[in-house]
Amino acid sequence: MRKLTIFDKLVNEIDQALRTVHTLAPTTARKNPSVDITTEHDLSEDERKLSARLMRINHAGEVSAQGLYRGQALTAKREDIREQMEHSAMEENDHLNWCETRLDELDAHKSYLSPLWYMGSFSIGAVAGLVGDKWSLGFVKETEDQVVKHLDEHIVKISKKDTRSLAILNQMKIDEAHHADIAVEAGAAELPLPVRKFFMPLMSKVMTKTSARI
């Protein structure tokens, strides 16, 4: 196979970005955990709106995760790390599709700013990869830890009657914790305190507050 040039890689990444925004990126083809839910309850209008808001935030988070992993995979130095990032990106894309399906069921739209979330996260991921694999993995670990915290909050907030969204969120939580664990096993370094406590929570706040509405 011929070696990919930087131009080939760029075209490939533009293709991936478009696929992500249009929910066509490769997945692991796992079954959506909500399809086996047989006990469904009617949601009140307030409950439906709350679920829609939270699932839109989660969908935007998955678009960002996709961008982050693709950016990191592009600039990762070790081949095994690149492969790990690409596999995690496929699992994030399962999540992305599950969230989008649930948003449709809730008669709600996904964030109109998805291209922005993807591009922003892709840039951050690519820079993290350039800085070095151990920092890039540290970034994954910290991001996934924060995502698990968000998911925990959403699982508490969302109506217990919304069993379909809850099935998706619970499976996502298992996967995100696994992504954090494998990043540590692969040699993640602990990020500097200001990045963990200021920069990353700030980015996450901007995204969650905006995507809840737009």
Least CB distance to Fe ion at residue 40 (A): 24
Q: Which is nearer to Fe ion, 43 or 143 (CB)?
A: 143
Q: Which stretch binds Fe ion (CB under 5 A): 33-41, 76-84, 85-93, 153-161?
A: 85-93
Q: Which is nearer to Fe ion, 150 or 179 (CB)?
A: 179
With CB under 5 A as the rule, give the number of residues binding Fe ion.
6
What is the full DSSP assignment across 106-118?
TT-PPPTTHHHHH
Q: Which stretch binds Fe ion (CB under 5 A): 92-100, 114-122, 163-171, 185-193?
A: 92-100
Least CB distance to Fe ion at residue 3 (A): 30
Tokens linked to 161: 């009657």
Q: Answer yes or no whether residue 95 interacts with Fe ion by CB under 5 A.
A: yes
Q: Which is nearer to Fe ion, 47 or 101 (CB)?
A: 101
**Pick from 25, 110, 176, 204: which binds Fe ion (CB under 5 A)?**
176
Which residues, 106 to 135, sit near Fe ion by CB under 5 A?
Answer: none
**Pick from 53, 92, 118, 120: which binds Fe ion (CB under 5 A)?**
92
List, in sequence order, the alpha helices (H) in the chain: 6-21, 45-75, 79-105, 114-131, 133-157, 163-185, 193-194, 200-213
CA gap 149, 144 in Å, rounded: 9
> Where does residue 107 rank: exposed (0-12), middle (13-18), buried (19+ CB within 10 A)?
exposed
Burial 123-143 (b: 16+ CB within 10 A, else e): ebbbebbeeebbbbbbbbbbb
Site of interaction with Fe ion (CB under 5 A): 62, 65, 92, 95, 176, 179
